């Protein structure tokens, strides 16, 4: 059995219905080479007999990276996320490319970047669902699992994408470190910490300047919370974007569930 296979004998690049996904019996190594995934997705796209739009769900930006690589190889038309400011003020419009349906493939690699958990920030996602409903677009939507869960409830994205797929490699996460902090004592009674962690997961990261507009806390409290999370190694900042530390993902997910936050299925 080679490294591309799990104990159960399925390739880590076997794209399966999200609702049927179960963690593989053996840990899946972090993906650094997307070529096998691109080839597998290309080979399976028609074999899946999937209807469009097709949803591809992952964790920590893995779906985005796969689809960017796949779109480049196939010459598919990539629809980039709008600016954060246009999401916040509700002016983000549908992509002009979608005005004229064609036989081309359209790809939204990072749908978690196309909405904000905000009363105006969800408008574009709702427009997409309502506008694409009856159109014959060959549209593939990549999204992180936490964002997908939120969008299923808020705009019924699962009604638009009746076929949602994932692969073990897209859900790969690092093993929780033995030196992880005691999360129960760190975030149990600190609602700001929990809300910030949850929001970072829903959007697969967020700039510090945007977080106060999405949370019921003062900007100073949000900034202090980010500093605390960084000190505890629960979150980190890279390229001005704050993200949850993958090595502590399992513990964070478990504790958010205990605090009655809704959580991703993966």
The more confidently predicted of residues 172 and 157 is 157
pLDDT at 161: 87
pLDDT at 2: 42
Specify the pTM. Answer: 0.88
Residue 232 has pLDDT above 80, yes or no: yes
Kindly state whether residues 187 and 159 are assigned to the same domain.
Answer: no
Last residue of a domain, one of 171, 193, 212: 171
pLDDT category at 250 given cuts 50, 70, 90 is confident
Strands 16-17 and 54-58: unpaired
pLDDT at 5: 46
Residue 184 has pLDDT above 70, yes or no: no
Q: 3-state SS string over the chain? A: CCCCECCCCCECCCCEEHHHCCCCCCCCCCCCCCHHHHHHHHHHHHHCCCCCCEEEEECCCHHHHHHHHHHHHHCCEECCCCCHHHHHCCCCCCCHHHHCCCCCEEEECCHHHCCCCCCCCCHHHHHHHHHHCCCCCEEEEEEEHHHHHHHHHHCCHHHHCCEEEECHHHHCCCCCCCCCCCHHHHHCCCHHHHHHHHHHHHCCCECCCCHHHCCCCCHHHHHHHHHHHHHCCCEEEECCEEEECHHHHHHHHHHHHHCCCCCCCC
Last residue of a domain, one of 148, 171, 194: 171
Kindly state whether residues 117 and 199 are assigned to the same domain.
Answer: no
pLDDT at 185: 59
pLDDT category at 251 given cuts 50, 70, 90 is confident
pLDDT at 133: 80
Kindly state whether residues 115 and 196 are assigned to the same domain.
Answer: no
Residue 108 has pLDDT above 50, yes or no: yes
Kindly state whether residues 126 and 247 are assigned to the same domain.
Answer: no
Domain of 153, CATH number, reads 3.40.50
Kindly state whether residues 102 and 143 are assigned to the same domain.
Answer: yes
Residue 149 has pLDDT above 70, yes or no: yes
224 within a domain of the structure (yes/no): yes
266 within a domain of the structure (yes/no): no
Kindly state whether residues 219 and 162 are assigned to the same domain.
Answer: no
Looking at 16-25, 57-66, 213-222, 247-256, which range is the least confident one?
16-25
164 within a domain of the structure (yes/no): yes
Residue 110 has pLDDT above 80, yes or no: yes
pLDDT category at 265 given cuts 50, 70, 90 is confident
Kindly state whether residues 210 and 120 are assigned to the same domain.
Answer: no
Beta carbons within 10 angstroms of residue 174's beta carbon: 15
* Structural domain of 189: 183-258
Residue 187 has pLDDT above 90, yes or no: no
Kindly state whether residues 243 and 134 are assigned to the same domain.
Answer: no
41 within a domain of the structure (yes/no): yes
pLDDT at 131: 87
Last residue of a domain, one of 144, 171, 198: 171
212 within a domain of the structure (yes/no): yes
In this prediction, residues 126-143 reach a mean pLDDT of 87
1 within a domain of the structure (yes/no): no
pLDDT at 33: 87
CB 166 within 8 A of CB 13: no
Kindly state whether residues 151 and 210 are assigned to the same domain.
Answer: no
79 within a domain of the structure (yes/no): yes
How many domains does the chain contain in total? 2
77 within a domain of the structure (yes/no): yes
Each residue's pLDDT tens digit, 191-218 = 889 999 999 999 999 999 999 999 999 9
Kindly state whether residues 31 and 134 are assigned to the same domain.
Answer: yes
Calculate what percentage of the chain has a pLDDT beyond 70: 87
Kindly state whether residues 33 and 88 are assigned to the same domain.
Answer: yes
pLDDT category at 52 given cuts 50, 70, 90 is confident
Kindly state whether residues 28 and 111 are assigned to the same domain.
Answer: yes
Average pLDDT value over all residues in the chain = 86
Residue 20 has pLDDT above 90, yes or no: no
Domain of 247, CATH number, reads 1.10.10.10
């Amino acid at each position: 059995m080679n490294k591309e296979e799990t104990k159960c004998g399925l390739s880590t690049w076997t794209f399966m219905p999200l609702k049927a996904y179960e963690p593989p019996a053996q840990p899946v190594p972090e993906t650094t080479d997307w070529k096998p995934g691109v080839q597998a997705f290309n080979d399976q796209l028609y074999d899946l007999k999937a209807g469009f739009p097709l949803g591809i769900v992952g964790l920590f930006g893995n779906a985005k990276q796969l689809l960017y690589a796949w779109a480049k190889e196939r010459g598919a038309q990539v629809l980039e996320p709008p600016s954060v400011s246009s999401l916040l003020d509700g002016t983000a419009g549908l992509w002009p490319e979608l005005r004229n349906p064609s036989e081309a493939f359209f790809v939204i690699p990072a749908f978690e970047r196309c909405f904000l958990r905000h009363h105006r920030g969800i408008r574009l996602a709702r427009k997409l669902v309502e506008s694409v409903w009856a159109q014959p677009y060959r549209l593939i939507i990549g999204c992180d699992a936490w964002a997908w869960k939120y969008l299923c409830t808020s705009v019924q994205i699962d009604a638009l994408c009746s076929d949602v797929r994932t692969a073990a490699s897209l859900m790969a996460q690092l093993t929780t470190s033995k030196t992880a902090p005691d999360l129960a004592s760190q975030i149990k009674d600190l609602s700001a910490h929990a809300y910030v962690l949850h929001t970072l997961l829903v959007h697969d990261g967020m700039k510090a300047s945007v977080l106060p507009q999405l949370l019921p806390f003062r900007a100073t409290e949000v900034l202090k919370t980010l500093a605390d999370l960084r000190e505890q190694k629960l979150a980190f900042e890279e390229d001005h974007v704050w993200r949850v530390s993958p090595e502590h993902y399992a513990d964070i997910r478990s504790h958010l569930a205990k605090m009655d936050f809704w959580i991703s299925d993966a």
